[in-house]
């Protein structure tokens, strides 16, 4: 049975009428991305920040393990009344729209205005937004509140731009599309796929690591968004936080794919590879386009 939170709609509608855009600086090289990713991982492992993830049941377990492997400490309650306590003490927040049962929607509408008020960076993952008008409406409202980063696959990016049809087949088209959404929403967009495109509309970083197996194991996108929330806890520039998280995730995915016998054994190898990641491995494998 759902548990409506009477405060949620009031706080939510109030928040929608009051947002402030972010402003961003410039320039990233491969060498600096390797060094910055390793540095952020050191910070995560030392400080062990707590990161609150409002995510779906399919993704919870793998996301929590990916977060723990990075050094962060996950919390995942989606009880609306618990949001003030959990958001006040979190370093950053993940908002994932997968499954989206009423309890989690109420928690999201309570948590996001609190995160904005308390200056906690947050990530939006608009899971399968192209398939549901209800999810479209919620995602559009959330985008107006300026998440630090939107992490979405190419179909989701297109849906948020209001375009129908399937994702751009070519990289330049997909890059233009991601830039357009970043500019029109004034946020960082991390459009994942075989190549991850991370852009604030001016600066763009494209990462070509990862494995085909990541498309054959459930909730890899959700787990990448969870890892991104962890990096927002230690890296203040959202473009760099997104690039570092997806760089780590992609390189760890490649390492895992070499060790796994198939999708069934991929996930534990991925978690092991994140846990053991170092600057030398990032440097040896990192591919920027
Ligand atoms: N064909 C592929 N080759 C390499 N990496 C991939 C591939 N497909 C997805 N990935 C990686 O898997 C992760 C999840 O991305 P994606 O599949 O786009 O998300 P979602 O599960 O939300 O659709 C990202 O880190 C992405 O780089
Ligand atoms: C909610 C849900 N339903 C099917 S898969 C899934 C989890 C999301 O998966 P992904 O992160 O790969 O988009
Ligand atoms: Mg997804």
Q: Give, as residue ranges, everything with CB less than 5 Å from ion ligand 3.
A: 127, 221
Average pLDDT over residues 160-175: 82
Question: What is the structure's pLDDT at 163?
Answer: 82
Ligand number nearest to the C-alpha of 196: 1
Residue 40, domain member (yes or no): yes
CA of 132 to the centre of ligand 3 (A): 14
Name the pLDDT band for 24 (thresholds 50, 70, 90).
very low
Tokens representing 58? 């399919």
Q: ipTM score of the complex?
A: 0.96
Ligand number nearest to the C-alpha of 56: 2
Does 2 have pLDDT greater than 60? no
Residue 274: give its domain's CATH number: 3.40.1190.20
Average pLDDT over residues 180-191: 97
Residue 178, domain member (yes or no): yes
H or E stretch covering 52 = strand 50-54
- Residue that has been written with the tokens 């959202």 in this structure: 238
**Beta-sheet pairing, 188-192 with 196-199:** antiparallel
Residue 207, domain member (yes or no): yes
Residue 57, domain member (yes or no): yes
Domain of 214 in residue numbering reads as: 29-285
CA of 203 to the centre of ligand 2 (A): 29
Residue 4, domain member (yes or no): no
Ligand 1 site, CB within 6 A: 153, 192-194, 196, 210-212, 214-215, 220-221, 224, 246, 249-250
pTM for the full predicted model: 0.92
Cα–Cα distance measured from residue 32 to residue 21, given in angstroms and rounded to the nearest whole number: 27
Tokens representing 91? 């370093």
Cα–Cα distance measured from residue 177 to residue 273, given in angstroms and rounded to the nearest whole number: 32
Please check whether residue 224 is in contact with residue 62, taking contact to mean a CB–CB distance below 8 angstroms.
Answer: no
Residue 5, domain member (yes or no): no
Tally of structural domains, the chain = 1
Lowest mean pLDDT of 130-134, 166-170, 219-223, 246-250, name the range.
166-170
Residue 21, domain member (yes or no): no
Cα–Cα distance measured from residue 284 to residue 145, given in angstroms and rounded to the nearest whole number: 38
Residue 22, domain member (yes or no): no
Please check whether residue 36 is in contact with residue 235, taking contact to mean a CB–CB distance below 8 angstroms.
Answer: yes
**pLDDT tens-digit map of 92-142:** 999 999 999 999 999 999 999 999 999 999 999 999 999 999 999 999 999
Name the pLDDT band for 28 (thresholds 50, 70, 90).
confident
Does 165 have pLDDT greater than 80? no
Question: What is the structure's pLDDT at 23?
Answer: 32
């Amino acid at each position: 049975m759902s548990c409506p939170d009477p405060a949620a709609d009031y706080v939510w509608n109030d928040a929608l009428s009051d947002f402030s855009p972010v402003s961003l600086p410039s320039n990233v090289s491969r060498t600096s991305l390797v060094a910055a990713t390793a540095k952020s991982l050191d910070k995560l492992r030392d400080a062990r920040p707590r990161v609150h993830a409002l995510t779906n049941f399919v993704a919870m377990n793998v996301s929590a393990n990916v977060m723990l492997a990075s050094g962060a400490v996950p919390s995942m309650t989606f009880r609306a009344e618990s949001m003030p306590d959990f958001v006040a003490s979190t370093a950053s927040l993940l908002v994932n729209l997968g499954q989206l049962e009423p309890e989690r929607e109420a928690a999201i509408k309570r948590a996001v205005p609190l995160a904005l008020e308390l200056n906690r960076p947050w990530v939006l993952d608009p899971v399968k937004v192209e398939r549901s008008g209800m999810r479209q409406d919620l995602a559009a409202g959330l985008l107006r509140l300026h998440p630090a980063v939107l992490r979405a696959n190419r179909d989701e990016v297109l849906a948020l731009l209001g375009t129908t049809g399937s994702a751009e087949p070519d990289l330049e088209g997909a890059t233009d599309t991601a830039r357009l959404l970043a500019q029109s929403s004034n946020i960082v967009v991390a459009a994942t796929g075989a190549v991850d495109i991370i852009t604030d509309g001016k600066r763009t970083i494209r990462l070509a690591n990862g494995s085909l197996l990541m498309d054959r194991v459930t909730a890899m996108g959700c787990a990448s968004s969870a890892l991104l929330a962890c990096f927002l806890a230690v890296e203040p520039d959202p473009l760099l936080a997104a690039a570092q998280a997806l760089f780590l995730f992609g390189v760890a995915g490649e390492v895992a794919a070499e060790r796994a016998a198939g999708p069934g054994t991929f996930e534990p190898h991925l978690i092991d590879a994140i846990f053991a990641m170092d600057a030398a491995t990032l440097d040896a494998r990192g591919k920027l386009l």
